[in-house]
Amino acid sequence: MKIKAAVLNAPNTPFSIETLDLAEPQVGEVRVKIVAAGVCHSDYHLLTGTTQHPLPVVCGHEGAGVVEAVGAGVSRVQVGDHVTLSWTPDCGECYYCRKGKPNLCETYTEPIWAGTMLDGTTRVSRAGEPIYLYCGLGAFSEYVVVPEQSCVPIRKDIPLKVASLVGCAVATGVGAVIYTADVNPGETVVVFGCGGVGLNIIQGASLAGARTIIAVDVNADKMPLAREFGATHTLISDGDNDSIIAQIRELTDGRGADYAFEAVGITGLQELSLAVVRPGGTAVFAGLSAMGSSTNLPGALLTREEKTVKGSYYGTVNPARDFPLFIDLYIAGKLNFESLISKEYRLEEINEAFEAMLTGSVARGVIVFD
C-alpha cells in the first residue's frame, strides 16, 4: 500500500514528505494506522548526525494508533485494538528479559537500532529501495508495520494523541523515578532540563512523594509548567554552576539532593548532576547523549562520598506492564499528560515542529494525522 511519511535522506537536511510503499505484515507483525506521534529530541540527534543510523530513515519513536491488520501467529493484539508503540520490544526469553529487564532485550536491540525488523529487512521502500525506521517504528508515517512486541494494547477511553506520549516521554521520565532510582517519600530531587522527559521526571517524583523537587533549566518560560507538574522550587541556570550548586545545597539542608536527574543528554549537566547530590546520593542519566561523547566523573569523589551514577534507558520500564499502568494513573488524575502537549502539527509541518522544540517554546509537539 502507498503511505505518506516524513523521510530524512541525509543529516542536516529537512524532513521530506514523501509517498512510500508499505508491505503487508509478515509472521508476528502488525500494521498500525498512526493517529499521533510525539516530537522528541532523540529524533533530532539523527538530523544532526550525532546519532549514527542507516539512511534514508523515517523517524518517530513515540506514537499511538489503531491496529488495522495482523500477520500470522500474532496473539498480543487484534484488529481494532488501540495501541501505544514501544521502541523496546522484548522477546521474553533472553538473559535480560529473564532478569526482569525487557528494556535491554538482547534479541531486539541490534535490529531496532539498525532500523529493521528482526530478519534484517524493512517493510517500507521507495522505488524498490529500503527505507529504514528509527527505533524500528518510524511513527512519522500514516501507517507502520512493526513487531507485535512493539504494540501495547491500551484502554479506549483515552485520546490517542495523549496516549502517544506514554511511549517515550512518560515512560522515560516517570519510569526513571519509580524504577531506575526508586525514589522514596520525603526524599529530595533535582531535575536538570524541563522538556518532555524532564517534566515527567518531575511528576514522577511528585507521585513518589518527594519532599523537595527542584527544577533547573535555562529557559524561564518553562518554569510555570514545571511547577504545574510538581516542582517545589525552580532555578534558572545562566551557566554559573557554582551558583546552582550553592542554591541546591541551600534548598536541601546544606547536604545536596538525594537524587539528581539529567534529562537532556549534555555531558556538562551530567557532571553537574553528580556535583549536586549529597554523599551517598545518586545521579541518574535519563537524557540521550550524542554517540561518542564522554563525561568526566571524578573517581575520587565517587569513592570518598559513596555517590552512585545510574543510567536509565527507557525508564527501566516493562512496556506491557507499565504503559497501561501509567494510563490508569492518568485516568485517576495522578499523572498529567494533556498539559505536555503544547501544540499539534500536521505531518507537513514537521520541520516547524522541530524548530519549536529547539527553541524551548513547547513541552511536547505532537504530529496528528487525519
Residues with a catalytic annotation lie at 40, 42, 45, 61, 168
What are the b/e assignments for 41-53, b being 16+ CB within 10 Å?
bbbebbbeebbeb
Integer Cα distance of 256 and 253 in angstroms: 7
Q: Which residue has the cell 487484534?
A: 78
Report the residue count for the chain.
370
- Rounded to 5 degrees, what angle do the CA atoms 288, 53, 23 make? 120
Integer Cα distance of 134 and 45 in angstroms: 11
User: What is the dihedral sign for C-alpha 60, 64, 65, 71?
Assistant: positive
Q: What residue type is 216 in one-letter code?
A: V
Q: Which residues lie closer than 8 Å to 202 by C-beta, 6 or more apart? A: 173, 191, 194, 213, 215, 226, 229, 230, 231
> Are the beta carbons of 181 and 261 closer than 8 angstroms?
yes
Strand runs labelled E in 59-115: 63-70, 82-85
Strand runs labelled E in the chain: 2-8, 16-22, 29-39, 57-58, 63-70, 82-85, 124-126, 129-133, 143-147, 151-154, 188-192, 212-217, 233-236, 257-262, 277-285, 308-311, 341-345, 364-368
